[in-house]
Amino acid sequence: MSIHATPEYLEALRKSAPMLRVEGLRKSYSTPQGAIPVLCGVDFTLAAGASLALTGESGSGKSTLLHLVGALDDADAGEIFLDGVALTLLSERARAALRREKIGVVFQQFNLIPSLTVAENLGFQARLAGRYDAAWQDELAHRLGLAALAARYPEELSGGQQQRVAIGRALAVRPSLLLADEPTGNLDEATGDNVLALALDLVATTGCAFLMATHSQRLAARLQRRVRLDGGVLAAQ
Amino acid sequence: MTLLAGLAIATALWSGVQALNAQARNSYDAATAAISGGGGRMLLAARGGLFEQDLFVKLRRAGVEVSPVLEGASRIGDKNIRIVGVEPVSLPRRSPIAHMRKRADILDDFLTGEGRAFASPQTLRRLDLAEGAQPQTERGRRLPPLTALAEAPPGAIVVDIGVAQRLLDRPGKLSRLILADDAALDEARLKRVAGDALRLVAADDDSELARLTDSFHLNLTAFGFLAFLVGLFIVHAAYGLAFEQRLPTLRTLRALGVAAPNLVAAMACEIAAFTFVAGGAGLIGGYAIAQALLPNVARSLESLYGAQISESLTLDARWGLSGLVMAGAGAVLAAASGFAKTMRLPPLSVARPIAWRAAHHRYLRRQAAFATIALVAAICAYDFGKGLASGFAVIGFSLLAAALFLPVALAGFLALSENLAHRPLARWFFADGRQEISGLSLALMALLVALAANIGVGGMVEGFRQTFTRWLDARLVAEVYFEAATPADARDIEAWARGQPDISAILPVWRAKTRIDGWPIEIVGMTAHETYSAHFPLIEATPDVWTALHAQDAVLVSEQLARRLGVGLGSALDIPTSRRDWRARVVGIFPDYGNPKGQLRVDHEELKRYFDDASGVHYGLRVSPDATARFIDNMQRRFDGAIARILDQSELKSMSTEIFERTFAVTAALNTLTLIVSGVALFASLLTLSDMRQARIAPVWALGATRRELAALEMIRVVAFAAGAAILATPLGLFMTWCLVAIVNVAAFGWRLPFQMFPTQWLMVFLIALCAAILAALIPVARLARAAPTELLKVFSNER
Ligand SMILES: Nc1ncnc2c1ncn2[C@@H]1O[C@H](COP(=O)(O)OP(=O)(O)OP(=O)(O)O)[C@@H](O)[C@H]1O
Ligand SMILES: [Mg+2]
């Protein structure tokens, strides 16, 4: 069963508390040469159904921010509220549960599981979260043009196809928050545009919050809002 | 690091075993060479045993330069020694102890007065005696004052020939004559002077010990080689992994225009350096292993074969060189595939993600193909013959076949399980496990081989232990065994014993020696008594065996002798006796485990009639069991000096059992070492793989599994793999037991044991495998479980 959100429904979502709220986030990496500050107080909010493009130079900390928001890494200071829950208060187990149930991540390198087929990859997180929905997965596969590839293994796919599997996997779980780290980095312009269009369409259909890191101003322009990461803080664009 | 360790361990095990063998062989050679000086020729009694001193006198009169020697076994306290009687004046110059001639003071003492007894300092230490001491032998004869002489052979005491004849109670007898280098003597001349009483042999032919102990050393070598193979698995695995890790660098270098042969040359230099470092470390380790095992080997060789092994390791350059060569060969073998891949590496290769599935299937097909080849080789080796070498070849090839087949079997099992699993993590677990097989396969193969060897050898030893114990019970029925100091003493004791109410039977167990086809053979007399007819274990016998034995010209032949001579029930056997050949019919074949010499059992009266030099001092007594202790006491008090040794049944049994245990202690030690090595291999592989595993696990972790769950799955996987190896190892081990029992033992020792199974032992090995796997996986898995998120996240940012 799929949800085809009505405008009223989306409006109601936007009015409610933001899906993601980030306050005073700081992060530095410790290296033998000393600590490298990457994020120096990042604040922003993102409502359900909204989309935000994160731009910035290479090495500015985009991936770092996405990892923190995705409950994959710990911040040094500051707080992230996901659907009203403060991430720092969660145990490892609870964070894992949060990741599988609420967050969909599209990694720059796809990170498909090479030992599983396309179909298994698509359904993996959803099954893990215990909300596998065959009809929804079929629909996703269809719309991503993956239906004919279901029995193949990632290594037998082209880069663009793998990218689409990665996006499908993130959406199959119906996440509250979709994170994408340069999701079109490895694609040619046309394919990249197509994939993004699909992602945006699906985001609109499922009503999740969408945060995408990208180098491309052109792609960033297609999202509702844009922010730029510079010197460890966000600047509106 | 792993590479070095693996190579060092492999070399250590191999060279350790080689050191033991070399040490033992050197000692045998030293024992013969110390008197005769090695090489040259000598004269032995044509019919085996001893010969009359007259023959020596005759030869000297005829102008043949010969030097007489009398050798015999004796004991001081509870230590076995060899008494060697020589005549220093006529010893050929090449003899190492001949130089004492130059020292007039020693020579005088040696020949006159009470004489001198020479022993090497090591022998003195072993006997716990100081120079000048005059210990008594078991026959109650006092030795001349002991003097240290470095050249004396290990375990021997050198005395004047006359003294030896007295000490050994062999007046007027000699055991061999050493010919001077330039002595002009050929068969024809020998015949003219000495008739057919003596035969001429080259000294090197006669290293009886070398001949008897051959199979023992072959066994050791085989196990050393097995351990080396297991070590080689590690080296191969380590090199393969190291190569995979540096493949990108190699690609870049190729792209930058470095020619493939240059790369290979550089890698070869590196391997050579490794060989020296690891080989050197391995030699040191081998030395340590040999040093640790030597006392055991020495004692088991002594108790089994009466061979004295010097217990201070002296090794030559050849040994070191052979160790290095093995290390080098191992390294090259392990690196060969890497070299080949480098040569084939295209100068411009696109960094494509590794197509693991295609590679995996290729890999499985290759494993299956090689496994089939190994299996065919095993079958060929089995068909080829029943020799020792083919026995080991069958074992080797079937181990190899099973090892190669292991990854295929595991992959099949995982594929099946994947299809049956429903939970996503379970499916991933099985699917991913298949991917991990190729990385772990060499370590798993090593584990399989080690486990199978443990089950195989363990089963053989345990089967042997049980058979041996049962056999010993049947064989040692008399309650008391004694050895009189001299035949005259024996007759006194016998006469006394006849009047004792506690004694129900006096069983003389006289012994004589002969040779058939060059093999030393012991002939033991038996009287007609229920002790034998009701208990003595026989493998095959004619229905009237006991009556025939005492009433006709009949013998019982030990199993190994029957096999060696190719005789069966009813065959006629020509036995060289003191005078003529005695033709006797084989009426029974008996098991004679652990005896390297052939044995014949004949009627006591016949023994007395045919063998002048029958020992006449060994007896068994049937005493009512509750009177045994009192009786022995009584006898000892009464015949103090006349009894060389007296033992009750249980003492004799425990002595025999101890010899048995010691023989297998070395095998057990090597087995354990092999198992430890394979555990180390598993550990090393897991450690090397753990970076790769992190990359595999990171996506699953990111999608919402906890590190602890994933670490637990890792552990379960390794344990499951080890369990798989253990399960496959069980039938393989059984097959190995069968090969050992039915082919190797028969060829090496001449006896065949019943094939038995020991499920508790399998369970033990299974548990050991699981423990080894858990231990090996502990650190890598703990690393995973505690990996910082940052570590795992690196996977997503790094190009893979
Ligand atoms: N594990 C780490 N240890 C040390 N420093 C790190 C680590 N990960 C990232 N950094 C540093 O943190 C900074 C931000 O890295 P990050 O990957 O977030 O940048 P980015 O904006 O995603 O860059 P790009 O656009 O190239 O992907 C960089 O300077 C990087 O060198
Ligand atoms: Mg980045």
pLDDT tens for residues B487-534?
Answer: 888 888 888 888 888 888 888 888 888 888 777 788 999 998 888 888
Give the Å distance between the CA of B798 and the centre of ligand 1.
Answer: 11
pLDDT (average), residues B738-743: 86
Neighbours of A188 (CB within 10 A): 10
Higher-pLDDT residue of A89, B794: A89
Label residue B33 by pLDDT band (50, 70, 90).
low
Which pLDDT band holds residue A27 (cuts at 50, 70, 90)?
A: very high
| Beta strands, E only, B609-740 | 618-623, 643-648
pLDDT at A65: 93
Structural domain boundaries of chain B? 47-196, 476-654
Q: Is any atom of ligand 1 closer than 6 Å to the C-beta of A29?
A: yes
Q: Is the CB of A64 under 6 A from ligand 1?
A: yes
Residue B648 has pLDDT above 70, yes or no: yes
Residue of B nearest to A67 (CA): B793
Give the integer Cα–Cα distance in Å for A148 and A162: 13
- B417-454: b or e for each residue (b if 16 or more CB lie within 10 Å)? bbeeeeebbebbbbbbbbbbbbbbbbbbbbbbbbbbbb
Quick check: B490 and B619 in contact, CB under 8 A?
yes
Nearest to B705 by CA among B368, B427, B373: B427
What is the rounded distance in angstroms from the CA atom of residue A153 to the CA atom of residue B131?
83
CA distance B367 to B442: 11
DSSP β-ladder status, B146-148 and B117-119: parallel
Nearest chain A residue to B792 by CA distance is A72
| Domains in chain A, CATH or no CATH each | 48-72+98-236 (3.40.50.300)
Residue B351 has a pLDDT of 43
Amino acid at A144: L
Where residue B376 falls among pLDDT bands split at 50, 70, 90? very high
pLDDT(A179) > 90: yes
Q: Does B431 touch chain A (CB under 8 A)?
A: yes
Following CA atoms B249, B255, B258, B261 in sequence, which dihedral angle do they give, to the nearest 10 degrees? Answer: 80
The residue type of B732 is: L
Residue nearest to atom 3 of ligand 1 (CA): A29
Q: Do A113 and B432 touch (CB under 8 A)?
A: yes
Higher pLDDT among residues B277 and B358, named by residue: B277
The reply to whether A182 touches chain B by the CB within 8 Å rule is no
Which residue did the predictor score with more confidence, B566 or B101?
A: B566
pLDDT at residue number B19:
82
The pLDDT of residue B211 is above 70: no
**What digits encode the pLDDT tens for the residues B606-642?**
888 888 877 788 888 888 888 888 888 888 888 877 7
As a whole number, mean pLDDT of residues B591-602 equals: 84
Question: Rounded to whole angstroms, how far apart are CA atoms B358 and B477?
Answer: 69
CA-nearest of A59, A117, A125, A60 to A96 is A125
Task: List the single residue in A with minimal CA-CA distance to B427.
Answer: A116
Is a pLDDT exceeding 50 seen at residue A93?
yes
Give the model's pLDDT for residue B329: 82
- Cβ contact, residue pair B796, A99, below 8 Å: no
How far does residue A59's CA lie from ligand 2's centre (Å)? 7
pLDDT value, residue B210: 61
DSSP 8-state assignment for residue B142: B
* Percent of chain B residues past pLDDT 70, beyond the cut: 88
Residue B402 Cα, gap to closest chain A Cα (Å): 26
Run of H or E residues at B720: helix B707-739
Over residues B664-685, mean pLDDT: 75
Amino acid identity of B417? S
- Judged by a CB distance cut-off of 8 A, whether residue B242 touches chain A is no
A183 within ligand 1 shell (Cβ under 6 A): no
Q: Which of B358, B423, B699 sits opposite A111 (nearest CB)?
A: B699
pLDDT exceeds 50 at position B352: no
Q: Read off the pLDDT of residues B401-426 as tens digits, 9 standing for 90 and up.
A: 998 899 999 999 999 998 888 888 88
Written as one letter, the residue type at A232 is G
User: Vertex B489, ends B486 and B493: CA angle to 5°?
Assistant: 140
The whole-number pLDDT of residue B481 equals: 85
Contact B707, B799 (CB under 8 A): no
In the predicted structure, residue B35 carries a pLDDT above the cut 70: no
Q: What is the pLDDT of residue B586?
A: 93
pLDDT at residue B37 is higher than 70: no
Q: What is residue B756's predicted lDDT score, i.e. its pLDDT? A: 84
Q: Is the pLDDT of residue B47 over 80?
A: no
3-state helix, strand, coil in chain A (%, to 5): 40, 25, 35
- pTM comes to 0.76
Distance (Å) from the alpha carbon of B241 to chain A's nearest alpha carbon: 20
Determine the longest span between alpha carbons in chain B, in angstroms: 102
Q: Report the pLDDT value the prediction gives residue B375, as an integer from 0 to 100.
A: 92
For the Cβ of B797 lying below 6 angstroms from any atom of ligand 1, the answer is yes
Token pair 């010919």: residue:
B179
Q: How confident is the model at residue B799 (pLDDT cuts 50, 70, 90)?
A: very low
pLDDT band at B31 (very low <50, low <70, confident <90, very high): low
Query: Who's near B406: CB < 8 A, 6+ residues apart?
Result: B441, B444, B445, B448, B724, B725, B728
- How many whole angstroms from B191 Cα to the centroid of ligand 2? 100
Task: Answer positive or negative: Cα dihedral of B168, B169, B170, B171.
Answer: positive
Q: Which of A58, A60, A113, A118 to mutate to test the interface with B (most CBs of B within 10 A)?
A: A113
How confident is the model over A41-62, as pLDDT tens digits?
A: 999 999 888 899 999 988 899 9
